[in-house]
Structure 1
Amino acid sequence: MSKKHIAMYITGGIAVYKAAQLVRSFIKGGYEVKVAMTASAQEFVTPQTFAVLSQHEVYTDFNSKTPADFVPHIALADWTDAAVVVPATANMIGKMANGIADDFVSTALLATAAPKYVVPAMNEKMWQQAATKRNVACLRADGSEILPPVTGFLAEGYSGQGRMPEPAEIYAWVTAKLTHQQDLAGKKILVSAGPTVEAIDPVRFLSNRSSGKMGYAVAQAAADRGAEVTLISGPTALAQPTNLKMIPIRSARELQEQLEENFDANDFVIMAAAVADYHVKEVADQKIKKHGRDVVELELVANPDILAALGQKKTHQRLVGFAAETQNLLANGAKKLAEKNLDMLVLNDVSRSDIGFNAADNEVRLLRPQEEPKLIEKTSKAQIAQEILDELLKLA
């Protein structure tokens, strides 16, 4: 089996000296490591140190192109199985969150499709700034893993949260993420995600606030755990998950068609998509003009209950539904679980602004027939995805 490729991105903070030990740990652990450094990182530790440890030339903004790396930042991005940003300064976190690519490190990171593991280190005052919190939340929402800084003695001479964890802790954290238990190997999982879109005319449509983040997290987690995953997705602004089959759709009718086509071949079906309840009976061929009208009447027709139809159709499949509720959560959830013949229901409280639609975090209750609801307290959607899959395995 070939070695996994770790690209380490070193940015300019006093904790750079710890990164040298981390490179050594990865190599001792059987990984192949290549290092890229920002100009400011080179003010603390020279590239030669990392070149000796990694046994590879270090990527800097001053690299000459070689035949093997005709476009160096793309070559490194394509080579990478996992990207580790350590120490991650507030500056680099801001660049990553906003898609800024103005040096080798930020450009290579923007080109990298592999999982990203970000280890912030900075002064406590910088870590607590609203801008930093927004950028970290954005990275999490985009799928990056974040290892928060610890509280300890800082370079400024006082204690606070901002200190980079020790290399041994970082190594254990990254390798645990990379060595997912392949407990879904051999299983086929069909996931739907995102909103559906129902046309009104060539310009306007009816839709909902679903970002697709929860469904994408489930699909990626399932793929990471060895499953053969098919993701049917409505329009989102999210990056496509890796190592799975992606089927884009727009309307509820298109979603229904793709589910019916793929349903029989799968072992588990997870319906995280937010499906529109209605579509417009007559879609206008041309843009509807205002022409002084204060009221426009649209006749809406109910869409088929796709989840209920799957519940009646299932044979060997285990079927998981999602419910977005604003009141009477457990009562409404239990009713949906029974009426739609589900094996499990993931119940969301979308009345809360800190979880659910478009948020990086969520808090859900898992409902199963003849069992007490299981509460998963507020955490990242990636973590909730893992817990959903853990429960899914109990249904097999």
Structure 2
Amino acid sequence: MSVLSGKKILLGISGGIAAYKTASLVRLFIKAGAHVQVIMTPASKDFVTPLTLSTLSKNPVHATFFNEEDEDAQWTNHVELGLWADVMLIAPATANTLSKMVNGNCDNLLIATYLSAKCPVYFAPAMDLDMYKHPSTVSSFTTLKQFGNIIIPAETGELASGLSGEGRMAEPENIIAFLEKDLESKLPLKGKIILITAGPTYEAIDPVRFIGNHSSGKMGFDIAISAANLGSKVILISGPTHLSVQDSNINLIRVTSAKEMYDACHHYFPSVDVAICAAAVADYKPKLVSNQKIKKSDAEFIIELEKTKDILASLGQSKKKQFLIGFALETENEIENAKLKIQKKNLDLIVLNSLQDEGAGFGKSTNKITFIDKNFLVEPMDLKSKELVAIDIMNKVITHYEK
């Protein structure tokens, strides 16, 4: 999966012949799974039509602050556009647009949005050979890089003037590759390996019956996706669930029983940097498992249970460099029970769920958690979607490595 997947890309197009390439560029962004909005300078519409770009991006194209021909036209909020984007790309960036970016000459929507952007800004210059090498252009490159903007260097090739040399805007495929490589290199968890457990475990009674619970696995899967988006390699060990993942950075290992999950966790644990145990592992299993389906006969049927191995505690005992996060689902004395679990299982952080909180627990799309670290610092969080809770959990991992 591309690092651009899910990213909000704001593409600024200025008026140069290379603008015709932006149709292919938008198409490649969409193919990579990005969300795209386009801002055009008035001059750029002479080279590529807004209709083409709006069709490809599946969003209206922005070109002016408001439509002078429409009395009811709404103001196009450049600040909102700048805050919306995860990445802003200006391509092609003509000499004129580069100069305006340097000097803050805010006479069109593109420059106003550029000046409002809080995200990384990339620019792909496009101009003729002598313009590209002119001292004023070189000075613009230097100043924009000092501002923190990132240049996607022009390529060498045939130019619109008929000359051949440097100044040709990078091809759309090369722009995508540049962005992916640069964004990946800056991901905060790049190079880390994270083990995550998810879902329930099923403990067999006979070939057709089992003891289980209502865990859907969604919380663990959302954590895995968030971890992969931050650059880490993920080993996701999941009990029975209908969920799946398509990210090549997530190695999904399916298990059924607590013993299978225990064995898988201990196989991978020595090689990981972080372990997040979000699975709802059965505490007990049938002591004897029938090889045949048990027939209904007596009025009462007694199953003798025995404890399963405690995965989280065993990982806590064997951990060396790993940052170990556990989950606790409590119904009473939540904080005190969670603190005891931190000590008993040698955890660095615990994520506490309370079934007393509306919107939390199994089978919900939301969760309400409280973080408690090994120093017993308690940090309650608001009710959020499980996707946002997963981001909060991964931010704790990032903070750990920033210390």
TM-score using structure 2 length: 0.58
Offset of residue 393 of structure 1: 2.7
Choose from 195, 205, 210 the match for 1:190.
Answer: 195
Q: What letter is aligned with 2:32? A: D
Q: Which residue of 1 aligns with 2:165?
A: none
The verdict on how the C-alpha distance between 1:235 and 1:166 changes in structure 2, with shifts beyond 3 A counting, is farther
Q: Which residue of 1 aligns with 2:359?
A: 354
- Pairwise mapping of residues 1-396 of structure 1 onto structure 2 (< 5 A)? 25-26=10-11, 28=13, 55=23, 80-82=31-33, 84=35, 169=80, 172-173=83-84, 175=86, 182-240=187-245, 242=247, 243-291=249-297, 293-396=298-401
Larger Rg: 2
- SS of the equivalent of 2:381 reads strand
Unaligned runs of 5+ in 2: 15-19, 38-56, 60-73, 88-118, 120-179
Q: How many Å separate the matches in 2 of 1:118 and 1:197? A: 44
The verdict on how the C-alpha distance between 1:6 and 1:314 changes in structure 2, with shifts beyond 3 A counting, is closer
Q: Which residue of 2 aligns with 1:14?
A: none
Offset of residue 84 of structure 1: 4.5
The verdict on how the C-alpha distance between 1:118 and 1:264 changes in structure 2, with shifts beyond 3 A counting, is farther
Offset of residue 169 of structure 1: 4.3
- Contact 2:357-2:368 within 8 A present in 1 as well: no
The verdict on how the C-alpha distance between 1:53 and 1:277 changes in structure 2, with shifts beyond 3 A counting, is same
- Contact 2:3-2:229 within 8 A present in 1 as well: no
Q: Which residue of 2 aligns with 1:142?
A: none
Q: How many Å separate the matches in 2 of 1:283 and 1:357? A: 27
Offset of residue 287 of structure 1: 1.4
The verdict on how the C-alpha distance between 1:167 and 1:3 changes in structure 2, with shifts beyond 3 A counting, is farther
The verdict on how the C-alpha distance between 1:26 and 1:258 changes in structure 2, with shifts beyond 3 A counting, is same
Q: Which residue of 2 aligns with 1:100?
A: none
- SS of the equivalent of 1:392 reads helix
- Contact 2:4-2:34 within 8 A present in 1 as well: no
Q: How many Å separate the matches in 2 of 1:318 and 1:3? A: 25
CA offsets per residue over residues 169-202 of structure 1, 9 Å max, x none? 4785463699686100111111111111111111
- Contact 1:364-1:375 within 8 A present in 2 as well: yes
Q: Alignment identity in percent?
A: 37
Offset of residue 382 of structure 1: 1.4
Q: What letter is aligned with 2:395? A: D
- Contact 1:197-1:252 within 8 A present in 2 as well: yes
CA offsets per residue over residues 16-65 of structure 1, 9 Å max, x none? xxxxxx99x43649xxxxxxxxxxxxxxxxxxxxxx89636x99xxxxxx
Offset of residue 327 of structure 1: 1.2
Q: How many Å separate the matches in 2 of 1:258 and 1:3? A: 28
Offset of residue 330 of structure 1: 0.3
Q: What letter is aligned with 1:266? A: V
CA offsets per residue over residues 226-258 of structure 1, 9 Å max, x none? 111111111112232522111111100000100
The verdict on how the C-alpha distance between 1:172 and 1:6 changes in structure 2, with shifts beyond 3 A counting, is same
- SS of the equivalent of 2:384 reads strand
Q: Output the aligned Cα RMSD.
A: 3.7
Q: How many Å separate the matches in 2 of 1:262 and 1:340? A: 19
Q: What letter is aligned with 1:55? A: A
Q: What letter is aligned with 1:395? A: H
- Contact 1:6-1:80 within 8 A present in 2 as well: no
Q: Which residue of 2 aligns with 1:107?
A: none
Offset of residue 309 of structure 1: 0.9
- SS of the equivalent of 2:270 reads coil
CA offsets per residue over residues 238-284 of structure 1, 9 Å max, x none? 23252211111110000010011001000111111110001111111
The verdict on how the C-alpha distance between 1:6 and 1:285 changes in structure 2, with shifts beyond 3 A counting, is closer
- SS of the equivalent of 1:82 reads coil
Q: Which residue of 1 aligns with 2:141?
A: none
Q: How many Å separate the matches in 2 of 1:118 and 1:375? A: 39
